[in-house]
Chain A
Amino acid sequence: MSKPKLALYWASGCGGCDVAVLDVEEKILDVAEFFDIVFWPCAMDFKYKDVEAMPDASIDLCLFNGAIRTSENESMARLLRQKSKLLVAFGSCAMDGCIPGLANLTTREAILQFAYQDSPSTVNPGGVRPQPHNTVPEGELEIPEFDESVRTLGQVVPTDYFIPGCPPQPHQILAVLSAVMQGAPLPPLGSVLGAGEKTCCDECGRVRNEKRIRRFYRPGEIEPNVNECLLDQGLICMGLATRSGCGALCVKANMPCRGCYGPAPNVVDQGAKMISALSSVIDSQGAAEIDAILDQIPDPVGTFYRFSVPVSSLRRKQPA
């Protein structure tokens, strides 16, 4: 009997998800033993035409990391959807948009203008911009188009499962792959795998007290107590709006949760939950004083939606 086929792809992301797969350490050998790895550009030599040549639905499991930022990302998402039985959004970029998704708070034009014109290290007197099609003496050159917005995999093609995290934690990756390798029954389509069904606070061992906050701090401004809730101490910790599953890693390192496991179950908008929660614990009743306290949060949108702008209610900056 032939082995089940596994594909891994890296779209618009940092590559950390591919590294996280290797972080399962020697268990990667079991994975390679069980699966026939048919496509993994980061680790092995495959070309897009190899995938195009495969029969439809011939890949049993495809772990797709990275957001959809360019026409190349999109065409690979469509191709791998067509070739895969199970397509999994692997990691925060593919699932929620993650750091690339923060680009939705500005515009395509502003990004290109800064990158190719305004950034201090750029010298571009001719105002040259990359063109999708170019004729050079050697022939015709093509590069992918840069989309107006960053989208998640699920916003581009039907996606079967979602594995959160920036990156997904190796023990969670292994749990999912082991379940597949042991032939466990598949959960309902659309499920979030490799994560918990509670919030990050559930995995945090710190002592929580009645919260009354008059001063917010940025990480680095104070050395927080290691036993007390970080939010109690004025650090904006996203744990209360974030799905459990990582084991509260950042909090254990005395850093506030940044929210990479995405909105907690049944939360539609991670930032909205943060607004709600913080508003309940700010210890002031006068509008001017409240505003002064809120001024201590330098970038509320980028903080509350650091990993989830493309799946937030408003999805992107609206045109003026």
Chain B
Amino acid sequence: MTDDQQRFEPRIVGFLCNWCAYSGADLAGVSRLQSAPNVRILRVMCSGRVDPSFVFRAFQLGADGVLIAGCHPGDCHYQEGNHKALRRVLLLKRILRGFGVDEHRVRLEWISASEGEKFARVSTEFTEEIRSLGPLPLENGRLLHLPADEPSPVLAEVAG
């Protein structure tokens, strides 16, 4: 491992579904399980809520990886939101390949409310995977092409 990779702390955005994965992350917390702190968690109502443009947006704003986690197949609170998420991620990965972005920077996991241990393990594993991939250097500078009316303090907070 090079010096750069050792110094590099991956920034990961985690979209966790309200009903399973977020509760799983919560359980990991209250169970005091050790896990990498690199995943910045955003709670969404369903993994099927995660539009691909959210993922692109996360990369634009400085994320090196994006974790999407939802209920196990068959357990979706909305019947089939997680199935849509699966199809979406599979197609999104093909688009990322076309743009020269490693598809492993996006990861989809099924984490139930009782799987605190799995959330902790996935966070740590994914962080190490992104660390080995290195930072995502978006050509043209990350924030260059955002609309001019974007409030910059928010950007600084998210990116910082």
Contact = CB atoms under 8 A, between A and B. Distances in A.
Nearest to A299: B98
A282 interface: yes
A320 B53 CA distance: 22
Interface stretch (B8-16, B23-31, B64-72, B137-145): B137-145
Given A155-B145, A278-B87, A300-B98, 14 more contacts: A105-B98, A272-B52, A275-B88, A279-B87, A279-B90, A280-B87, A282-B87, A290-B87, A297-B94, A299-B98, A313-B53, A315-B139, A317-B98, A318-B136
B24 to A, nearest CB: 21
B78 interface: no
Given A279-B84, A294-B90, A300-B98, A285 B137 contact: no
Interface string A266-294: 00110111011011101011010011001
A275 B99 contact: no
A315 B53 contact: no
A213 to B, nearest CB: 11
Interface string B83-115: 110111011101100111100000000000000
Contacts of A315: 138-140, 145
A32 interface: no
A314 to B, nearest CB: 4
Contacts of A268: 53, 57
B127 interface: no
Interface in B59-79: 59-60, 73
A275 B59 contact: no
A317 B53 contact: no
A285 B83 contact: yes
A306 interface: no
A271 B95 contact: yes
Given A317-B99, A319-B100, A278 B91 contact: yes
Contacts, number: 95
Interface residues of B, number: 29
A149 interface: yes
Contact of B139 (A275, A282, A301, A319): A319
Contact of A279 (B57, B88, B139, B145): B88
B138 A275 contact: no
Interface centre among B52, B90, B99, B101 (most CB of A within 10 A): B99
26 contacts: A272-B51, A272-B52, A273-B53, A275-B52, A276-B53, A279-B87, A279-B91, A282-B87, A285-B86, A287-B90, A294-B91, A294-B94, A300-B98, A301-B98, A313-B59, A314-B59, A314-B138, A315-B140, A315-B145, A316-B99, A316-B139, A317-B98, A317-B99, A319-B137, A319-B139, A320-B100
Contacts of A282: 87
